[in-house]
Structure 1
Amino acid sequence: MIYQPSAGLPFSEQDGLYFSLFRSHTANELSGFFDNVFWSRIVMQECHSEPAIRHAVVALGALYKTLEKATESPPSSPTDSGLLMDSAHRHWEVALKQYSKALEASISASRQDVGAHRTVLMASVLLACFDSFVGDHKKAILQIQQGLRFLESLRAERRRSFAPKPEEPVEDEIIQMFTRLAIQAKSYDMAFHFPQPHVIRLLPSPTDPLSPAAEGTSPVSIHQEPIPPQFPSLLDARIAWDTLLERVFRFTELMFQFVSAGSAPNILPNSMTQYGQQFQADLRAWSDAFEPLLSSRFAPSVTRQEKAGIAVLKMFHLMGEILFAMTFSDSEMHFDKYRPHFKTIVDLAQEVVGDEERSAKEKRCPNPGRCTHQRNHPPDVFGGNDYAAHHIKASFSADLGIVPPLYVVATKSRDRQIRRQAIQLLRSSSRREGMWDSELMARIGMWVTEIEEEEELLTPRESPVAFSRPFSDAGSPNGSLDFGERPLGPGGNAKWEDRRESIVSTLSNRSQPKPIPAEKRVLVKSCEFDLREHKAVLQCGTRGLAAGSLDLKTRRTTISW
């Protein structure tokens, strides 16, 4: 239930409209695929008494309005009456002004007594979300680092009190937010290898073990219970997954401290596999406990959001299994044995996007005959026009969703069809999930595909899997997927399935392409990007090559969109 604030909040009329927009739309968007009382209740309540939270909420509401005006308003959007100079630029100016006020109020609160500690931690979350929303991942990471540092200092004070069981400095929901932000930033760093100081560390620095816990020494999550035989709810499964993933990150971070400096970055020796066996068992146990929830997602009593949350959580589990196992491998060829995982990730993502498109179409175009979203699109990468999610609007979430798992499929699956489906799903609608941007991830996948399949792409008539046009220009201007006119099934899409079966049949009747050889496979080694300017500098090379070694596979490119 959304918390309803009293009429006594100290807002101007203009700011009150942005607050109302946050309460009715932005809070739900930020929650992503999972219900989150942090956004729907705790933040709302703090607006009564804390200027830092109040200004941050107005900033996020104005930012949401900026996105809405820059794209297309949903039908349920509040009317614009009362919003002076109703334009994206005007809302953007308000957002920046309120962000600055929130930052000043947060700094002021940090100098106050113990009662302000909760405000400072909450403000760190909101400001990090704002920075991610506008594409400034460096500021977002610094905000997360500062929040983790402050949380650990508060915990240290309580440990020094010698209480039998020191209480946490803030409630569980706020600590859960920091757990997820830490996981999000850590996963981004592992994918793109950020330089210092934009690195989240969950353990003390090995060069200075006595340093204050700037990056944390105690687990961020307070939930350390064993995995049960069956999860009673999606929330329980999510908390258990966050806890397990944080433990995995801490383990790999610890193991890398024992690897020589000249070793391959982010790869552990195969001889260390034995130390990770418990985590392999925990990943299997989590999957077994989650299976009843996964099977129940089509039940009539399951809401659309809960169904999507179940699918997304399973996507993350599959991605986690792949990436943890491959931490001990120096060969890109070993990803091939995870083809069933890649296919399931794509199938679940289709389910999520299909449901979103159907719901958006019902809301925005209840009369199909008057729909203005059905545009003529150029052929997609399969040579057809059947995969455009025309009705899904651009979105931002503070939580992770379908983008990271699809990025892994796009760059690590060498099955031509599965890889292309992942890229098309990334381009089906504009999404920013925390720091993960769908269009950037799709374009990285496209670039890797062009490198690994360049010989096939140069001879499209001879290749049954070649693109119908150069990949950098594939699909619609928005990279849309068309789910067609047929009614969507329970999360899937009949037309997609028909089209896919046709493609499989066509390919089976033609000579199958050879697997991409090891010498053609590459690893994304760095990505320096600016989401505000829509530019990125990419570098790829050989997996498992020792740091500083000559890499004959090195490729660099600059992309813009």
Structure 2
Amino acid sequence: MDTALENPSLAAAIAQENEIEEINLLANPDPARADKKKRFHNKSKNGCRTCKTRRVKCDEGRPGCQRCSAFGFDCDGYDEPFQPKAKMSHGQVFPHRRARVIPQVQPSAAALCRSPQKSLFKNDQEHRYFSLFSTKTANQLQGLFPTDLWDRLVLQVSERDSSVRHAVIALGALDPQTWKSPTKSWKDISRRKFAYHEYSIAILEMKKAISQKSLDLRTRLIGCLVFVAFEVYHRNTPSAVAQIERMSLLIEEQIREQNIYTPTSTTIDNELLESFRDLEIQNLVNNSFGRALTERDLLDSRQSIKHKLPQEFVSLHQARAMFHVIVIRQLHWQNTCKHEWPWWATAETIGLFNVQNDPPSNDITTTEEWCAERDRRFEEYTAWSNAFQPLLLKARILNEPHELRRAEIVRMTYLATYLALMTRMYSPWESWYGQTTRLVELVALIKHLLAQTDESDSGFSVEMNFLVPLIVVAKMFRHRASRKEAIRLLFAYPRREGLWDGVLVAKSLQWIAEIEEEGMPDEEEYVSYFLATDLGRGTEIDPVKRVAKLVAFQRPIQAPMTIVRKETVVTW
């Protein structure tokens, strides 16, 4: 989308409008207008250099004039503070006015995007819902970190590509705030039908453009991202995963010779690359075996990046980007080992009273190689944590609300990922029962952050924010008090983030907790690891009717050597 005024007639019209307003102010002796005249001249004289050059009103915004930004000009800043001059004598006249010249201004990368021409839309409905997306939906899709991905990059691509534009219109018609409840009113039904109509057009036009090989990488990645958002809204996980994997393959094909997992890569917009990393992690977490790994994935996952980590991060964005790199490589490495996770709970290795400290060797890796690699992974996490601590400490000292919140979000993500790694890498004697302090800290941090959410947070996000950390607490560990509080938070703050629906997760984990803790004495702090129960094959989820058939296989506390099939049906 263009970011500057490139239409000379439009610029001339703006100048003419300002000229007429100023002349009217000078000619009208009405006291109210005279006061407006005074304010006009004060702003003109005390305005930014660019507005004074253009001889137009300046809003005197700091650090830069918003008027310049809105009309695509670079604001050149301000002169010395305005000092009122002496009033003019009765015989004094206004100085001669010279003709105005509109300077030629180069497009500014930082300028705000203008609205697309109305001719791009076939009817008023398309225009209305595109405008709704631009002004409202784009903000709702923002993650917990500031980015101009949705309100700049997506809008730029949507102006020149019709398939992305129709998908954007479909999202604007949906209104993500309505994800919590099914459609009821005729107005909502009408909007939903229009959204589906636009989405079907987007898919057809995308297929056509791909067959003609007329789309660049950036447009195709943005298209995948918008499609993911639409599918996430409907909790259509298979379709969302297909789009995520398509993004992975596109990046792999196009920049095979460049390491895309380094935060300094400039092949793709940083905002788009960060969004892709988040989606890639979601896919790997949601499916423990992930997608089929390419040769480059295998190579990257085996290489250590510890030497690339600075002693201290310069910004939270840098810390977060580096952390995503570490997590992706770790998840890829897990898939190369061909061990089921957790390795000590598989059919081949499980034992009620004789748990091995390390996994057995297999055709892919020996126990010694696996343990050495595991130690390197923990060293990287430790090095990252050491580089992040100064930033966290600085944010707590300065106590600036937004920066502190973002620092605590990064800390929350680190704790959840580290705990998940513990359950994967060590035996239950070292991990399951030994992480109470970290679990308590993580739950307290999540509770604090959720309590800070305001009314503008609809609970809908394409990114994974709070749900995965809560799942780590309630699913991967059986500390009863922490799990109970995590499930309570899932119900108290209903959210849909990426591939997960918080209410469905809460009901599933609540049912699992009831099964595992049946007949257990109240004084027991943990559920024993060999009584752990997870959802098994046979679980079916209908996202349209919001009905799920859950299946689990329980080892009763009274007879742990036997396995009992359990079933239930939940709605959400």
2:246 maps to which residue? 146
Total equivalences in the alignment: 429
2:504 equivalent in structure 1: 440
- 2:400 equivalent in structure 1: 302
Cα–Cα, structure 1 residues 129 and 325, in superposed 2: closer, same or farther, change >3 Å? same
Shift of 1:310: 2.5
Residue pair 1:66, 1:88 contacting (<8 A) in 2 also:
no
Residues 109 and 303 of structure 1: CA distance in aligned 2, closer, same or farther (over 3 Å): farther
**What is the distance in 1 between the residues matched to 2:279 and 2:332?**
15
Is the Cα–Cα contact under 8 Å of residues 124 and 147 in structure 1 kept in the other structure? yes
Task: Tell me how far 1:138 sits from its aligned partner.
Answer: 0.4
Confirm whether residue 315 of structure 1 aligns to residue 412 of structure 2: yes
- Provide the aligned C-alpha RMSD in A: 3.6
Output one character per residue of 1:321-346: Cα deviation in whole Å (capped at 9) or x when no partner: 12222213464884121111211111
**Cα distance 1:116–1:243, how it changes in 2: closer, same or farther (>3 A)?**
same
Contact 1:5 1:45 in 2 (8 A): no
The Cα shift of 1:257 comes to 7.2
- 2:135 counterpart residue number: 24
In 2, the alpha carbon distance for the partners of 1:297 and 1:531 equals 41
Distance 1:258 1:71 in 2: 38
Residue identity opposite 1:146 in structure 2: R
Q: Which amino acid letter does the alignment assign opposite residue 133 of structure 1?
A: Y
Aligned partner (choices 533, 543, 555) of residue 531 of structure 1: 543
Counterpart selection for 1:63 from 169, 174, 182: 174
* Residue 285 of structure 1, CA deviation: 1.4
- Out of 116, 128, 150, which is 2:216 matched to? 116
CA distance in 2, matches of 1:428, 1:28: 23
State how far apart, in whole Å, the 1-side matches of 2:181 and 2:347 are: 48
1:47–1:258 distance in 2 versus 1, CA, 3 Å = closer
SS at match of 2:550: strand
Deviation at 1:247, TM superposition (A): 0.8
Identity %: 24
- Could you say which residue in structure 1 is the equivalent of 2:473? 409
**Per the alignment, in what secondary structure is the counterpart of residue 455 of structure 1?**
coil
Distance between the aligned counterparts of 1:423 and 1:445, measured in 2?
A: 7
Compare 291-300 and 142-151 and name the one that shifted more.
291-300
**Corresponding position of 1:547:** none
Structure 2 partner of 1:46 = 157
Partner of 1:399: 463
Name 2:9's counterpart in structure 1.
none
1:186-225, aligned counterparts within 5 Å?
186-190=284-288, 199-203=290-294
1:74-153 equivalences under 5 Å are 87-113=187-213, 115-153=215-253
Alignment counterpart, residue 487 of structure 2, candidates 398, 423, 428: 423
- Equivalent residue in structure 1 for 2:277, among 179, 202, 206: 179
> Which residue of structure 1 lines up, in the alignment, with residue 113 of structure 2?
4
Match of 2:519 among 430, 452, 455: 455
Deviation of the 1:540 alpha carbon: 3.7
Calculate the TM-score normalised by the size of structure 1.
0.68
Matches of 1:329 and 1:284 in 2, distance apart? 16
1:25 offset after TM fit, Å?
Answer: 2.6
Counterpart of 1:14?
A: 125
Task: Give how far 1:89 is off.
Answer: 1.2
Equivalent pair of 1:109/1:119 in contact (CA under 8 Å): no
The reply on whether 1:521 has 2:494 as its aligned counterpart is: no
Q: Which moved more, 1:33-42 or 1:250-259?
A: 250-259
Equivalent of 1:253 in 313, 335, 338: 335
Change (3 A) 1:519 1:117: closer
State the Cα deviation string for residues 174-206 of structure 1 (Å, max 9, x = none). 33322221111111112xx7xxxxx423445xx
Q: Distance in 1 between matches of 2:567 and 2:475?
A: 16
Once the two structures are TM-superposed, the CA of residue 36 in structure 1 deviates from its matched residue by: 2.3
In the alignment, what sits opposite 2:359?
269
Inter-partner Cα distance in structure 2 for 1:299 and 1:530: 48
- Residues 273-292 of structure 1 correspond to what in structure 2 (within 5 A)? 273-292=371-390
Q: Are 1:239 and 2:316 counterparts?
A: no
| Cα contact 1:203–1:254 (8 A) shared by 2 | no
- Partners in 2 of 1:69 and 1:183 — Cα distance? 25
Match of 1:35 among 136, 146, 163: 146
Which residues of structure 1 form unaligned runs of 5+?
73-84, 160-166, 194-198, 205-212, 361-391, 457-462, 466-511, 544-549
Higher relative contact order (CA 8 A, sep 6+): 1
Q: Is the 8 A contact 1:534 1:560 kept in 2?
A: yes
1:127 aligned partner, one-letter code: F
Is this contact kept in 1: 2:133–2:172, CA < 8 A?
yes
Q: CA deviation at 1:297?
A: 4.1
- Letter of the 1:313 partner, please give it: V
Match of 2:451 among 341, 344, 354: 354
What is the Cα deviation at residue 420 of structure 1? 1.6
Whether the 8 Å CA contact 1:66–1:91 is kept in 2: the answer is no
Could you list the per-position Cα deviations for residues 107-158 of structure 1 after superposition, in whole angstroms to 9, with x for gaps in the alignment? 12223346533212211111112111111000111111222222222224x6
Structure 1 residue 279: Cα displacement: 0.8
For the residue of structure 2 that corresponds to 1:335, the secondary structure is: coil
Larger radius of gyration: 2
* Distance in 2 (alpha carbons) for counterparts of 1:414 and 1:258: 19
Equivalent residue, structure 1, for 2:80: none
Distance 1:168 1:114 in 2: 22
1:298–1:307 CA contact under 8 A, matched in 2? yes
1:542 deviates by 7.6
Decide whether the 8 Å contact of 2:480 with 2:527 is kept in 1: no
Deviation at 1:300, TM superposition (A): 5.9
1:325 aligned partner: 422
Shift in CA distance, 66/247, structure 1 to aligned 2, threshold 3 Å:
closer
In structure 2, the CA distance between the partners of 1:218 and 1:519, relative to structure 1 (3 Å rule), is closer
**What's the CA shift for 1:7?**
4.6
Larger displacement relative to structure 2 (28-37 or 179-188): 28-37
Q: Secondary structure at the match of 1:97?
A: helix
Structure 2 unmatched runs, 5+: 1-109, 259-264, 351-355, 361-366, 556-560
Matches of 1:226 and 1:395, distance apart in 2 = 35
Compute the displacement of 1:438 (Å).
Answer: 0.8
Kindly tell me: are residues 48 and 559 of structure 1, through their superposed partners in 2, closer, same or farther at Cα, counting changes over 3 Å?
same
Matches of 1:451 and 1:436, distance apart in 2: 22
> How far apart are residue 434 of structure 1 and its match?
0.4
Q: 1:2 to 1:129 in 2, by over 3 A?
A: farther
TM-superposed CA distance for 1:16, in Å, is 2.4
Show the counterpart of 2:441: 344
User: 1:86 & 1:300 partners in 2: Cα distance?
Assistant: 50
Residues 1:318 and 1:203: Cα distance change in structure 2 (over 3 Å): farther
Assess if the C-alpha contact under 8 Å between 1:2 and 1:41 holds in 2: no
Indicate if the aligned counterparts of 2:433 and 2:526 stay in contact, CA closer than 8 A: no
- TM-superposed CA distance for 1:412, in Å, is 3.6
TM-score by length of 2: 0.67
Per the TM alignment, residue 241 of structure 1 is displaced from its structure 2 partner at its CA by: 0.9
